[in-house]
A and B are shown apart, each in its own frame.
Chain A
């Protein structure tokens, strides 16, 4: 019988010889050009990393194709990044340009390093998720096509990290991204008593509602929803398929901006809601791509060098963000959930 509990493969067996020889002995790095990093070790050895965009949802033949490239130019060594880019690794400077040419020939974009737009972290969406309010891969493709030029440059004011979650479970660091695209529902779940009766644990379901909008309905051996209390988070649907929350007429996406995870210059911060709703409009979601482009280009135009989206906004003030982007401010942008008080502006020192 196959062994269990063996754990992941030993990463040490997968390290490029230059990495093995200089492990923990790196001195500095340089950004050679967009998509190409050069790390230099104490020994003087050099390691080139060529970063390449990927759709994340890939066939095994795609993987085999990039393996063929890694065999030819990188002695068979490569890695993936935390944002689903591919990094080809080589110690040989002369391999860099030929590899880039070969990647271009395959239609694979080189970039995403330094002050660039990098890959969009995203989830399964309609491809595989049971709780999506939108698709993931489709919007990512549409937005990356629209903002493509910014992947292959590294002269933006700062890094630009866009992330997408197909529902509020937000599988990925969507809640701390420069631009976050989040699938949202706008209507309360429809209770299917038959499904609830079949096997839903009612106390757990009732407890799962953050606003207490669900109560037992003994007459129907089921539950009932107080619609005014429901904020359509969908947690009840995760608990029971009988709480049917997908609503094709009303589901869509929200746009949040200004988050970051790094500690550099300013503490990590959340993305904040600026556009409460845009409709699902497959295959290209033009309302979404337009809204994201508008936000990105306003930032490009006005931010000072080194300012992430959120740092730019905090400096100019959120009021000026809404003015400059021409995004209408609605009461929906003002928090009314449990940590709301910390967001209210308790100072008269604002801008007009």
Chain B
């Protein structure tokens, strides 16, 4: 950006205790003119109260239809280094685990080819490399690929799957979220790199009902860890919690959504009514030393989650109450392939899976994908009797 261009509004955002993205942009600007232009462009946006990026054109790397988001400023004369300023998405390692060597490698390659600015991470989960020219895309990709990194998804494809920290650290993990995420991502590389569907598809994997990757809100297919048997209670530890001052009756039992817990304040014993427990994780969260998940572990599969555009935000809903989730995840892969085939066949342009099921009805979806209807799919049955009957069900 021009030497004399000041950024008083952005400068103000360097003050205050929270780490400042403006400081970061300035750090990058010291070494890279595109980052410098970006500061100027953002200041202009702050002056104009409007964005200055055009719709992206189609740019990419050989063999892929996604992974790169084209970006061009609408003010190329004033900010020439932003004439082309594309984003590359790098598929992150499961659980966002890194060694410092791997992070430095990512930084070194980016320094050579791009603005030096990144997002750790984007909302889907990828590492975002923010800003490079069209001519740099292929060389950048080539260097990352040689170093063992690949692009993530973008466009009407499988977006990069993501998962919670899982059994790497969390005692609640009901299946290996990290391994499943890695396995699924590798299995479906074609679907991820070459957009061929009505619209995007996201798979997210959480190890338990706490859902730390917000799978239920953000994924067309949410895999949420659960168990089929009963929670395990260690009464010695329950006593220890009681003695430490935890009000078990009020903080744990009263808050059980299905009133499945009973606490005897005299004997300091906590018991569960097994068939009443809905496995919501609250009591386990409150007393992690005393209560564990059950032993027969697996996952619930929910479908349909998405953001607001177009038909409103959807939360995923239960499709398979319990599926064992162990490598090589054959049952899951078989199901997801049937779902994709059906959605691809029936979905309109830019129609998400949840919107399609809503449009044609669960009955049609279940029959055509081959899934049994179960009451766990609904909070409650329909309140209207407008039922469709199939030919074969009618007396002729």
Contacts and interface: CB of A to CB of B under 8 A. Distances in A.
Interface of A: 1-11, 13-15, 19, 23-24, 26-29, 39, 47, 49, 53-64, 67-68, 70-71, 76-82, 84, 86, 107-109, 121, 123, 125-132, 135, 137-138, 140-142, 144-145, 148, 151, 165, 168-176, 204, 207-208, 210, 233-235, 238, 240-241, 246-249, 251, 259, 261-266, 268, 270, 280, 282-284, 305-306, 337-339
Contacts of A235: 309-310
Contacts of A246: 50-51
Interface string B236-263: 0000000000000001000111000000
B280 A55 contact: no
B92 interface: yes
Contacts of A60: 28, 107, 110-111, 116-118
Contact of A78 (B98, B124, B255, B313): B98
B334 interface: no
A49 to B, nearest CB: 7
Contact of B257 (A5, A24, A135, A266): A266
3 pairs of A and B residues whose beta carbons are closest in the complex:
A145-B16, A175-B313, A60-B107
A141 B21 contact: yes
Contacts of B145: 2-4, 6
A171 B123 contact: yes
A24 B24 contact: no
A5 B176 contact: no
Interface in B295-322: 307-313, 315
Nearest to A239: B350
Interface stretch (B53-61, B324-332, B335-343, B388-396): B53-61
Contacts of B110: 60
B150 A8 contact: yes
A14 B320 CA distance: 33
Interface in B100-141: 100-104, 106-107, 110-111, 116-125, 130-131, 141
A229 to B, nearest CB: 14
A261 B211 contact: yes
Contacts of B217: 173, 175-176, 259, 261, 268
B361 interface: no
A121 B120 CA distance: 11
B211 A14 contact: no
B76 to A, nearest CB: 15
B282 interface: yes
A8 B106 CA distance: 13
Nearest to A47: B169
Interface of B: 9-10, 12-13, 15-22, 24-25, 27-28, 35, 38, 42, 45-46, 48-56, 62-64, 71, 85, 87, 91-104, 106-107, 110-111, 116-125, 130-131, 141-143, 145-146, 148-150, 160, 162, 164-165, 167-171, 173, 176, 178, 182, 185-186, 189-190, 193, 209-218, 224, 251, 255-257, 280-282, 285, 288-289, 307-313, 315, 348-350
A55 B182 CA distance: 27
Contact of B178 (A11, A123, A284): A11
A84 B209 contact: no
Contact of B313 (A2, A26, A170): A170
Contact of A58 (B120, B164, B289): B120
A148 B350 contact: no
A264 B160 CA distance: 27
9 contacts: A27-B289, A58-B21, A63-B103, A71-B100, A126-B51, A207-B349, A264-B285, A270-B315, A338-B312
A19 B173 CA distance: 14
Contacts of A174: 307
A176 B316 CA distance: 12
Contacts of A9: 93, 102, 148-149
A282 B193 contact: no
Contacts of A70: 100
Given A5-B193, A128-B71, A26 B171 contact: yes
Contacts of A77: 97-100
A6 B62 CA distance: 14
B311 A8 contact: no
B96 A79 contact: yes
A15 B97 contact: yes
Given A8-B160, A60-B116, A63-B118, 7 more contacts: A1-B142, A6-B150, A57-B117, A59-B24, A233-B309, A268-B211, A284-B12
